[in-house]
Amino acid sequence: MVRGVKISTKGRYSLRMLLDLAEHKGYVPLKDVAERQGISKKYLEQLVTLLGHSGILRANRGYQGGYMLTKAPDQISVGQILRLTEGGLCPVSCLEDDPNQCGRSEHCLTLPVWKGLQTVIGDYLDGITLQSILDGGF
């Protein structure tokens, strides 16, 4: 059985959370996102910590507090989100380091295949923004 490239729960839930924030203007309480998305608030708290350090979210504490996007939804791509949550979009481990650390990279006949796949995946995901998902036109 072949195992394909898989996006983790962290990546999928981050995308859902950010789409929810894009739909609801202003500061949105995390408990509201958790209820609408069916994701535990505790798990979302872990995600906002990760995404908050990237500068993609802004937090406001206290009454009327919550989270909001720091950029317009058309300025945030799925590729950007998944790189933050998944640590990259490399289809094979030998492409994770630049320069390539594989001892076979100079003579590897399959390396161009994996580089091409990485380019296709990156270009596809970078071409989809939160806004294009909300608009249904990607």
Q: What's the first-to-final CA gap in the chain, in angstroms? A: 31
**Kind plus residue range of the DSSP H or E element containing 23:** helix 9-23
pLDDT for res 103: 79
Query: For 104, which DSSP code?
Result: T
Q: How far apart are CA 52 and CA 10, in angstroms?
A: 14
Give the residue among 120, 19, 125 at the shortest CA–CA distance from 80.
Answer: 125
Q: How many CA atoms lie within 13 A of 125 on its CB side?
A: 19
Token reading at 88: 């990259």
DSSP 3-state of 31: helix
Counting residues of the chain whose pLDDT is more than 90, the rounded percentage is: 63
Q: Which amino acid does the sequence have at 31?
A: K
pLDDT for res 64: 80
Token reading at 94: 């030998």
**Kind plus residue range of the DSSP H or E element containing 59:** strand 57-60
pLDDT per residue as tens digits for the range 55-104 = 899 999 888 889 999 999 999 999 999 999 998 888 887 887 777 777 77
Mean pLDDT of the region 9-32:
95
Is domain 9-135 in CATH 1.10.10.10, yes or no? yes
Q: How far apart are CA 134 and CA 19, in angstroms?
A: 7
The structure's pTM equals 0.88
Give the residue among 42, 21, 57, 43 at the shortest CA–CA distance from 134.
Answer: 21
